[in-house]
Amino acid sequence: MKNIFLFLTLLVLSVSAQAQQNQTVQDSTKTEKLDEVLLSATRAKDKTPVAFTNITKEELESINLGQDLPILLDQLPSVVTTSDAGAGVGYTGIRVRGSDATRVNVTINGIPYNDAESQGTFWVNMPDFVSSVEDIQLQRGVGTSTNGSAAFGASLNLKTLNPSTNGYATTTNAVGSFGTRKHNISIGSGIKNNFYAEGRLSNIQSDGYIDRARADLNSYYLEAGFLSKKTSLKAIVFGGKEETYQSWYGTPEAVVNNDRAGIQAFIDRNFPSNTETQNLLNSGRTYNFYTYDNEVDSYQQTHYQLHASHQFSSHFSANISGNYTRGKGYFEQYKDDENLGDYFPNSTNASDEGDVIRRRWLDNDFYALVYSLNYRKNDLSLYLGGGYNTYKGDHFGEVIWDSFPSEIPVRSNYYFSFGDKKDYNTYLKAEYNMSSNLFVLIDLQYRKVDYKSVGTSSDLLNIDVKESYNFFNPKLGLTYKIDNYNSIYGSYAVANREPNRDDLTKNPIRPKSEKLHDFEFGYKLKTPTFYTTANLYYMNYDNQLVLTGELDDVGDAIRQNVDKSYRAGIELQAGYKVSKQFRIDANATFSQNKIKAFNYIIYDTQYDSSTFNTVSYEPVVTQFEDTDISFSPNVIFGSTLTFSPIKNGNIVLLSKYVGKQYLDNTSNDSKSIDAYFVNNLNLSYKFKPKWIKEIAVNLLVNNLFNSEYVSNGYTYSYYYRAEGSFDAPITENFYYPQATTNFLVGATLKF
């Protein structure tokens, strides 16, 4: 990988020398066209027979006031978002068609962003990244071949800013509820003698809606490059450092509902002699279990990207990109009444008890190389592309303070493991206009994954994993243009996905890889004032990994393969320009998301009522059939009403309805999230005084009508009864309440 970076750096220098003799001034149209070579192989286009949505930077500007990227995408079809801290800053999440972030492939300029081991994405590590984004494409379903982890629900493709032809300076400052504030400054040189440079610095802070759920987020973005008529070279460095107070525990159901009797019952079961009692009784729906001052998550991540694109002829172009990502951080925890043996089992005083402050660390390196060769002539486009990436990560824990009677060295490591993952893919895609009306897509991908991990887990269990996977992912689609306004399309795609790190290290039975057959059929109508689309989908899974209630050796939830499951639905979109001043846009998803059959497990813990010692611990198995997949609402609706009473002034009402979601896969109403309907109001106005290029003022009022709702949660059930009794199982539900009415107001100055 070092040799690749050296080669690309030398290429930059050699072309730079040539540029001294050829200083062609580029207009913005040519610049953008050449820049598109980066993503032309993986992005869907108008004729591509998949369901997708494009979002431009202009569409995001008025609401980009500090909240994380998932929250800004909330209005997209089939999308549901959530925020741990309740106000959209810090840890946030996105689901598409019910699939969580581990099943949504994310790339930045074609470079994989998903964490290699967990397969998730953590936007908290990239605060204010939207300020450096040119556009975003969300493909729903399997979509087109891309780099990195499998797209099992969607793929999210981000492209950073096109180089600005002219020099500029921009600053945005915003403040709002819960002490939220955002400050950034961006500068750019413009293109001078084929060279340019741009940069951004940002800081976002928030106290959070949930108690103590503060966030302090810093980020930067730097880019420099060279552009000629046929060549684009760019070096990009961006990164972020976050410190967030943990709000992962959630709020108990009784506390959310202000059920005093339920709260007391929860206390009796979980905190019979603990000061946590008053915290639970007094805090309300903003309750945070964590009270230790430094119960924080702290992580720093830096990305280095180098991109080279060249137009060899009017028909042939190529792109090669290299990436190195460095990440390191920890989360800190205070734990009381711990046993020394749980950290150092070989200690001679393993039975000692005391309090502990511990840190659990990740220290990782990610290298990636991606490429594409693009051929276009007449009615045929061919793309040969792919990539290779490798991940190396250390997982370790250290005790930074303790009150054990026996002395242990400060910052002693009590576990360590190492993960190594290699991911290779190559794809060949052909797009062909068979006639003026018929478009054909054939997309074939091969992907190979090797993963190994050795060492000890945080629960002091030995880890010994070595697995290899070979996947073939074909895709075939047709688009038929009925006339200048109407078209239909259909596609079939296959995706395969390897288990993640937890699946492989915690599960006593090695899980199988998952497979998805995705069928899509759609209709599009577009006129100058009106558009509508209807997309039918059927996503049929083999061996999907889901939670079944089963626990590992230390009581952590593990996922198991279920033989058959599916998602089927219809996605509707429509937009109508009623007049020059008024526009309506809306989308709706109606779906069924089912597991055909699986075994659900509740553990039966029986104890001796005189000593409270455990007598037995046995799984109780119940078979369920045709149940709803968790976190998969059957109805999702979004609408945007835009009123422009004056030039450059907009009043926008954004509405979102999300139907009932189940917390597990049993379709039990007592373990669910109620449907919710939320409205946000966005006011924006731009004006151009003589002394500055532009001033934009934006106001965002979230949850306009003060709805009390939750958007995420978890559940677990158990028996805990004396010998011979027949008590019903106990279920504990935890939720993540979202903020009531709150606001953000900001001003952007463009020089």
Question: What does the pLDDT look like over 255-302, one tens digit per residue?
Answer: 999 998 888 888 888 776 666 666 777 789 999 999 999 999 999 999
Model confidence at 116: pLDDT above 90? yes
Structure tokens at 73: 């995408």
With beta carbons less than 8 A apart as the criterion, state whether 522 and 50 touch: no
Q: What is the pLDDT of residue 265?
A: 84
Amino acid code (one letter) for 674: D
- SS3 of 463-514: the string is EEEEEEEEEEEEEEEEEEECCCCEEEEEEEEEEEECCCHHHHHHCCCCCCCE
* In 578-692, beta strands by DSSP E: 582-607, 614-628, 635-646, 649-658, 661-662, 672-673, 676-687
The per-residue pLDDT for range 210-250, each reduced to its tens digit, is: 999 999 999 999 999 999 999 999 999 999 999 999 999 99
| CA–CA distance, 84 with 735 (Å, rounded to integer) | 9
Distances (CA, A) of 206 to 177, 241, 245: 8, 15, 10
Q: What is the pLDDT of residue 750?
A: 95
Model confidence at 609: pLDDT above 80? no
Model confidence at 17: pLDDT above 70? no
User: H helices of 291-403, where?
Assistant: none
Average pLDDT over residues 10-24: 38
Question: How many CB atoms within 10 Å of residue 404?
Answer: 19
With beta carbons less than 8 A apart as the criterion, state whether 536 and 522 touch: yes
Structure tokens at 679: 């409205």
Contacts of 748 (CB under 8 A, 6+ apart): 61, 170, 171, 172, 694, 695, 696, 698
Split at pLDDT 50, 70, 90, the class of 408 is confident
| CA–CA distance, 310 with 297 (Å, rounded to integer) | 42
With beta carbons less than 8 A apart as the criterion, state whether 547 and 665 touch: yes
- SS3 of 415-461: the string is EEEEEEEEEEEEEEEEEEECCCCEEEEEEEEEEEEEEEEEEECCCCC
Q: Classify residue 243 as left (phi > 0), alpha (psi -120 to 50) or beta.
A: beta
- For domain 2-250+288-750, give the fold: Maltoporin; Chain A (2.40.170)
Model confidence at 745: pLDDT above 80? yes
Structure tokens at 383: 């793309």
Strands 111-112 and 694-702: unpaired
Q: What is the pLDDT of residue 10?
A: 39
pTM to 2 decimal places:
0.92
Q: What is the pLDDT of residue 41?
A: 78
Q: What is the pLDDT of residue 606?
A: 76
Average pLDDT over residues 724-741: 88
Distances (CA, A) of 319 to 137, 194, 386: 19, 19, 11
Per-domain boundaries in the chain: 2-250+288-750
Closest CA to 174 of 12, 24, 305, 63: 63
Strands 353-377 and 79-83: unpaired
